Amino acid sequence: MSDNIRILMCAPDHYDVDYVINPWMEGNIHKSSQQKAVEQWKNLHNIIKQYATVDLVNPEKGVPDMVFTANAGLVLGDNVVLSRFYHPERQGEEPYFKAWFEQNGFTVYELPKDLPFEGAGDALFDREGRWLWAGYGFRSELDSHPYIARWLDTEVLSLRLIDNRFYHLDTCFCPLSNGYLLYYPEAFDSYSNRLIEMRVPEDKRIIVEEPDAVNFACNAVNINDVVIMNKISQDLEQRITHKGFKVVQTSLTEFLKAGGAAKCLTLRVTEPILEDVHANDYVESRVIKMEGHLLDSGMMNRALDLIVYEGGSFKVLNFNLGVERQSPSCAEVRISAPSKDVMEDIISQLIDLGAVSPPEKESDVILETVVKAGVSPDDFYVTTIYPTEIRVNGNWIQVTNQRMDGAIALKEENGTLTATCKLLRDLEAGEKVVVGVDGIRTIRASQSREQRNKPQEFSFMSGGVSSERRVELLVEQIAWEMRHIRDQGGKVTVVAGPVVIHTGGAIHLSRLIEDGYVQCLLGGNAIAVHDMEQAMMGTSLGVDMGKGIPVSGGHRHHLKVINMVRRAGSIANAVEQGLVTKGIMYQCVKNNVPFCLAGSIRDDGPLPDTQMDLIKAQSEYSRLVQGSNMILMLSTMLHSIGVGNMTPAGVKMVCVDINPAVVTKLSDRGSVESVGIVTDVGLFLSLLVQQLDKLTNRYQVAQT
């Protein structure tokens, strides 16, 4: 026995699984045997007594988890930070532990109400005393870490837990003497794993595999060179022994049913203070402001969810709820993150949601110079589809050429500053690019309950994917809007895949072009090939479109078509020469509707018009898409995604595909104006033409 190490335990007199607050307790209510639990606890107690002095706190009725003294608080020297339990079920333990600490001469620090921290269950000293590892994600709040750093004057390294089976840090992480670490990496997010790897050299890391981890192998009590734990695999035992430790195993099955084992049942109350270790915590904090229909639009939820999802924490400093239906709300939120990197990830996403810095904290953008053409300085701000402004010399400038996945380049010419969204490949050496997250804001159209739910008007439900039942309704809305755009001299762009032809949609799309509803067509080689194949030979990929059966030798048709058009020199020439007399491409040529065909690796031919230089094709797409009021995306995932990325918010997008996954992917731009329709594209087009006919006839009647 060693006199200078003291460990606090609590006898299991009232231990039982009475409620469920972690996944281990599920299905285990009253399933642990009291007698067996007492036996197992006694065995552990006896083992520990051989290596340390055991102090006991009185077990109390009604708080069955009190046996898990690791959660009493966190001790360093004579100071203790008392636990604030996350679950009400355990909050009753707090006064008992507090009394014990006070009776034993500790200075007790208590965290603010509603700031949970579960003691040594979630905070483990490096056994050399160099720093404190502190967990968060399930029980303890990240914002408790700065308090601990300050009160205990120690360096705190925050680790984020992401697997709810390992809800406390001590369930998956156990620092050992001589700088060793026994842990289960999968329980942590990648940032935390990087931090662990930075602090603990590889030869000091003892990785626990899942089968041992779920037997609480990491929940071990380390006293000098002894490691006391529940039963583990031989392999792990050997690996630990190999590092110079003595492994003592004792069965703790009854406590596993409550989600705890050896370490949970103990609290080391003698933690020596090292002279040269001082407070330092890396938790960053920052305040943001949001304004608008924060509740109606779900913006508030989205913002708070993303903060937590990305590994941060928040405190709502104030929230001014707009009380009338039309009045906007305003919120100020303080965000904390375990590091600058995580903070920047969070802030950049909040900027995309429309969050800004409070006026007194506003600052200019940070700019860095492009050194190599086509390569941005690292850490550049990645643009979205939302209108964006940047602050330079105290003034906000609007970014032009807004698109997704670009960088913001700033140019000064004749004393005027211009900010432009640019693709990485277009960046020029010497140009300045916005990096970091300061001085950037995006403008989100505020979305009220009314705007989202106007049933009579054209209103695309936010990111909604429709089922067949809603298709007709949506087609009516789309037809209405298309007629309106045509009347106003607006622009509808169609992005279409060959499925349009295979599903019999060519005739309908041709009609739309002929009737002036389409101002621009984008697609690949295939749509043009099969459209002209149908026009010239009556088949689409060799299938007779009239009869719906394959024509013998039909698979060669499309190659013959390609060959003829190649001979003609261009699609326009083929039309002029009378080779192509109907169909989509025919109508485009006849009605001067510009088109761009972007090539790909699988293209046959290709057609003379197909742009096989993808960079040129992308630029051409982007030029043609400018000024669109609506984009119809018809069964082509790649071309549609490409177009979506180059289109700023505010353009109505309709994505039609038979595959719900494609539709969801395309319509999920987080912008109100996009809608997904899961249906056969040929059917969709036929309904659309029918509806437009109906509308225009009525319209003409109404006018006469």
| Residues annotated as part of the active site | 168, 264
Encoded one letter per residue, x for contact with ligand ARG by CB under 6 A and - for no contact, window 310-339 reads ------------------------------
> Smallest gap, in angstroms, from Cβ of residue 436 to ligand ARG?
38
State yes or no: residue 140 binds ligand ARG (CB under 6 A). no
State yes or no: residue 531 binds ligand ARG (CB under 6 A). no
Q: Which stretch binds ligand ARG (CB under 6 A): 67-75, 304-312, 344-352, 517-525?
A: 67-75
What is the torsion angle, in degrees rounded to the nearest 10, for the CA atoms of residue 342, residue 347, residue 353 and residue 357?
A: 160
State yes or no: residue 259 binds ligand ARG (CB under 6 A). yes
C-alpha distances (whole Å) from 62 to each of 15, 101, 447 are 9, 20, 50
> Smallest gap, in angstroms, from Cβ of residue 23 to ligand ARG?
9
User: Toward ligand ARG, which CB reaches closer, 54 or 564?
Assistant: 54
Query: Of 5, 7, 8, 21, which one interacts with ligand ARG (CB under 6 A)?
Result: 21
State yes or no: residue 583 binds ligand ARG (CB under 6 A). no
State yes or no: residue 68 binds ligand ARG (CB under 6 A). yes
- Element spanning 46, H or E: helix 34-49
Is the link from the previous residue into 387 a cis peptide, with omega within 30 of 0? Answer: no
> Smallest gap, in angstroms, from Cβ of residue 170 to ligand ARG?
5
> Smallest gap, in angstroms, from Cβ of residue 338 to ligand ARG?
21
> Smallest gap, in angstroms, from Cβ of residue 394 to ligand ARG?
52
State yes or no: residue 52 binds ligand ARG (CB under 6 A). no
Instruction: Give dist(CA 554, CA 542) in Å, integer.
Output: 4
User: Toward ligand ARG, which CB reaches closer, 265 or 365?
Assistant: 265
State yes or no: residue 620 binds ligand ARG (CB under 6 A). no
Q: Which stretch binds ligand ARG (CB under 6 A): 233-241, 258-266, 288-296, 497-505?
A: 258-266
Burial of residue 645, with CB atoms counted within 10 A of its CB: 0-12 exposed, 13-18 middle, 19 or more buried: middle
Q: Which residue has the tokens 């006898």?
A: 11
The DSSP secondary-structure symbol of 493 reads E
> Smallest gap, in angstroms, from Cβ of residue 17 to ligand ARG?
8
State yes or no: residue 136 binds ligand ARG (CB under 6 A). no
The beta-carbon contacts of 323-328 under 8 Å, at least 24 apart in sequence, are 325/448, 325/449, 325/450, 326/448, 328/291, 328/292, 328/293, 328/294, 328/446
Query: Of 98, 127, 168, 432, which one interacts with ligand ARG (CB under 6 A)?
Result: 168
Query: Of 32, 71, 230, 503, which one interacts with ligand ARG (CB under 6 A)?
Result: 71
Q: Which residue has the tokens 């099969």?
A: 530
The DSSP secondary-structure symbol of 19 reads S
User: Toward ligand ARG, which CB reaches closer, 121 or 354?
Assistant: 121
Q: For the residues of 432-468, what is the DSSP string, one character each?
A: EEEESSTTEEE-PPP--HHHHH-SSS----TT-EE-H
State yes or no: residue 65 binds ligand ARG (CB under 6 A). yes
Q: Which stretch binds ligand ARG (CB under 6 A): 62-70, 300-308, 409-417, 437-445?
A: 62-70
Q: Within 81-110, which residues bind ligand ARG (CB under 6 A)?
A: 90
Q: Look at residues 248, 224, 1, 237 and name the one whose alpha carbon lies nearest to residue 128.
A: 224
State yes or no: residue 121 binds ligand ARG (CB under 6 A). yes
Instruction: Give dist(CA 269, CA 74) in Å, integer.
Output: 8
Q: Which residue has the tokens 């405190």?
A: 315
Instruction: Give dist(CA 20, CA 681) in Å, integer.
Output: 50
The pairing of beta strand 329-337 with beta strand 520-524: unpaired
- Element spanning 135, H or E: strand 132-136
State yes or no: residue 70 binds ligand ARG (CB under 6 A). yes
State yes or no: residue 345 binds ligand ARG (CB under 6 A). no
State yes or no: residue 258 binds ligand ARG (CB under 6 A). yes
> Smallest gap, in angstroms, from Cβ of residue 263 to ligand ARG?
6
Q: Which residue has the tokens 């109350």?
A: 269
> Smallest gap, in angstroms, from Cβ of residue 159 to ligand ARG?
14
User: Toward ligand ARG, which CB reaches closer, 165 or 315?
Assistant: 165
State yes or no: residue 260 binds ligand ARG (CB under 6 A). yes
User: Toward ligand ARG, which CB reaches closer, 259 or 338?
Assistant: 259
Contacts with 315 (C-beta within 8 Å, 6 or more apart), sequence order: 143, 333, 334, 336
Secondary structure of residue 390 in the 3-state scheme: strand
> Smallest gap, in angstroms, from Cβ of residue 306 to ligand ARG?
27
State yes or no: residue 266 binds ligand ARG (CB under 6 A). no
The residue number whose beta carbon is nearest to ligand ARG equals 121
State yes or no: residue 172 binds ligand ARG (CB under 6 A). no
Query: Of 264, 390, 392, 437, which one interacts with ligand ARG (CB under 6 A)?
Result: 264
State yes or no: residue 12 binds ligand ARG (CB under 6 A). no
How large is the angle between the packed helices 557-568 and 525-537, nearest 10 degrees?
100
C-beta separation of 154 from 76 below 8 A: yes
Instruction: Give dist(CA 463, CA 457) in Å, integer.
Output: 17
State yes or no: residue 170 binds ligand ARG (CB under 6 A). yes
The answer for 696, left when phi > 0, alpha when psi is -120 to 50, beta otherwise, is alpha
Q: Which stretch binds ligand ARG (CB under 6 A): 259-267, 275-283, 353-361, 557-565?
A: 259-267
State yes or no: residue 436 binds ligand ARG (CB under 6 A). no
State yes or no: residue 442 binds ligand ARG (CB under 6 A). no
> Smallest gap, in angstroms, from Cβ of residue 255 to ligand ARG?
8
Contacts with 600 (C-beta within 8 Å, 6 or more apart), sequence order: 524, 525, 638
Interface size with ligand ARG, residues (CB under 6 A): 15
> Smallest gap, in angstroms, from Cβ of residue 118 to ligand ARG?
7
Burial of residue 703, with CB atoms counted within 10 A of its CB: 0-12 exposed, 13-18 middle, 19 or more buried: exposed
> Which residues, in sequence order, are bridge partners of residue 632?
494, 654
Query: Of 5, 22, 539, 654, which one interacts with ligand ARG (CB under 6 A)?
Result: 22
Q: How many CA atoms lie within 13 A of 623 on its CB side?
A: 9
State yes or no: residue 481 binds ligand ARG (CB under 6 A). no
Question: Would you tell me which residues interact with ligand ARG (CB under 6 A)?
Answer: 21-22, 65, 68, 70-71, 90, 121, 168, 170-171, 258-260, 264
